[in-house]
């Protein structure tokens, strides 16, 4: 079986209007030379294009999908939120929360993004593809049931998981979020549940600045099923691999999921404008390799990655290609032009040791 790659050009047409990085243009913010929101279609389209010109696309099962149905969305989002979103979309666009703007047709594009994740999850669970990457936007991991946040308008992964459960019944799912920002929306949706293990690796206090604490472990039936791994700014490659070894892998083995889903933000890279980590393409390659091995042992290889953030037009494609090469089991020969520089700028050994000691202390609290 091949790796699935899910994409629809219409998702790239989602717009948040003129911005300077992510600040609305106007008032005291002078328009920059390129007044476009940092969350735009270029990074994702360039990712897709590199997969194609590298030759890897020919080895993939490439598909689109229909939009998520209203019934799919209502399993996660209240009708009042969806009604308001649809009405604003039809009226020319608007804002669904904190940094959650959209242009005309935003509702339909967001529903398409969620639909792509629904299909990717369904195809992996059915065995139609071996594993999958869903390259879509707008992202979803910050979206709360009744409020958009952080460029996210619908909770794409939870919508897909609840659609899966509506068809198949109970399914144990682990969501591993390696976006550099805390996956607060996914956490909130599953905070009281024990059928979904939510794990978020993120730069500490980056966004949202008041969430993602290591002590937030779930509530009621969900206690112990939420794991936040806040990493120090600048932790780099070693911090992510240590976090996988010390916390993520043991948590997955204890939970024993039927499916692993990755919230795949590529904004932990050393050149991303919205964070201060120092990951590089081999960081994402190695994390993918680790999760593929765990999926192979725990759940028949069932692994789906759904795209989230990542804001460097230059570097997102190389990080994404590294993930795709691992999923597909084929190296294309494309060289990452920034890899040597980022490897050379990794933190000193004493900082790496300090970060690992923090992770090991957290692991003692989590696992005893």
pLDDT tens by residue, 266-319: 999 999 999 999 999 999 999 999 999 999 999 999 999 999 999 999 999 999
Catalytic residue, chosen from 14, 37, 141, 142, is: 142
Q: How confident is the model at residue 187 (pLDDT cuts 50, 70, 90)?
A: very high
Does the pLDDT value for residue 20 go beyond 70? Answer: no
Separation CA 238–CA 311 (nearest Å): 22
Tokens of 157: 């992964």
Q: Tell me the mean pLDDT in the region 182-205.
A: 98
* CATH classification of the domain holding 187: 3.40.800.20
DSSP for 291-324 reads HHHHHHHHSTT-EEEEE-----TTTHHHHHHHHH
Structural domain tally of the chain?
Answer: 1
* Whole-Å CA distances, 302 to 132, 200, 210, 297, 324: 9, 19, 33, 10, 15
The dihedral sign for the CA sequence 145, 138, 285, 202: negative
Mean pLDDT of the chain: 97
Separation CA 37–CA 23 (nearest Å): 8
pLDDT value at residue 136? 97
Query: Kind of pairing, strands 259-264 and 303-307?
Result: parallel
Print the domain residue range for 254.
3-367
pLDDT tens by residue, 129-183: 999 999 999 999 999 999 999 999 999 999 999 999 999 999 999 999 999 999 9
The dihedral sign for the CA sequence 204, 206, 212, 213: positive
pLDDT tens by residue, 93-139: 999 999 999 999 999 999 999 999 999 999 999 999 999 999 999 99
Helices 281-298 and 316-328: angle between axes, nearest 10 degrees: 30
CA 344, 347, 348 angle in degrees (round to 5)? Answer: 100
Say whether 77 is catalytic.
no
pLDDT value at residue 69? 98
Of 229, 203, 206, the closest CA to residue 216 belongs to 229
Tokens of 185: 């929306």
Q: Are 188 and 144 in contact (CB under 8 A)?
A: yes
Tokens of 173: 């799912």
């Amino acid at each position: 079986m091949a790796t699935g790659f899910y994409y629809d050009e219409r998702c790239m047409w989602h717009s948040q209007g003129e911005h300077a990085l992510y600040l609305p243009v106007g008032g005291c913010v002078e328009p920059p030379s390129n007044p476009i929101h940092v969350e735009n279609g270029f990074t994702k389209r360039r990712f897709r294009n590199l997969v194609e010109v590298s030759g890897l696309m020919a080895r993939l099962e490439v598909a689109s999908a229909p939009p998520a149905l209203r019934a799919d969305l209502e399993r996660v989002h209240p009708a009042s939120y969806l009604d308001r979103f649809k009405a604003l979309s039809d009226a020319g666009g608007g804002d669904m929360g904190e940094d959650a703007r959209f242009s005309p047709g935003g509702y339909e594009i967001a529903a398409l993004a969620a639909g792509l994740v629904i299909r990717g999850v369904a195809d992996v669970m059915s065995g139609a593809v071996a594993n999958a990457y869903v390259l879509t936007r707008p992202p979803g991991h910050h979206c709360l049931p009744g409020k958009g946040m952080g460029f996210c308008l619908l909770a794409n992964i939870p919508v897909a998981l609840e659609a899966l459960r509506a068809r198949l019944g109970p399914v144990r799912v682990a969501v591993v979020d390696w976006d550099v920002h805390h996956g607060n929306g996914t956490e909130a949706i599953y905070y009281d549940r024990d059928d979904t293990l939510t794990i978020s690796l993120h730069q500490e206090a980056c966004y949202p600045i008041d969430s993602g604490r290591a002590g937030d472990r779930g509530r009621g039936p969900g206690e112990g099923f939420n794991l936040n791994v806040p990493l120090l700014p600048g932790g780099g490659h070693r911090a992510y691999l240590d976090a996988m070894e010390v916390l993520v892998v043991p948590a997955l083995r204890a939970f024993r999921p039927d499916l692993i889903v990755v919230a795949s933000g590529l904004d932990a890279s050393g050149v991303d404008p919205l964070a201060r980590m120092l990951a590089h393409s081999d960081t994402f390659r190695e994390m993918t390799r680790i999760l593929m091995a765990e999926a192979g042992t725990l759940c028949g290889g069932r692994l789906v990655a759904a795209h989230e953030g990542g804001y460097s037009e230059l570097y997102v494609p190389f990080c994404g290609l590294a993930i795709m090469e691992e999923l597909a089991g084929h190296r294309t020969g494309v060289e990452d032009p920034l890899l040597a520089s980022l490897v050379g700028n990794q933190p000193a050994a004493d900082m790496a040791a300090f970060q690992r000691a923090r992770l090991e202390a957290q692991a003692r609290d989590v696992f005893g």
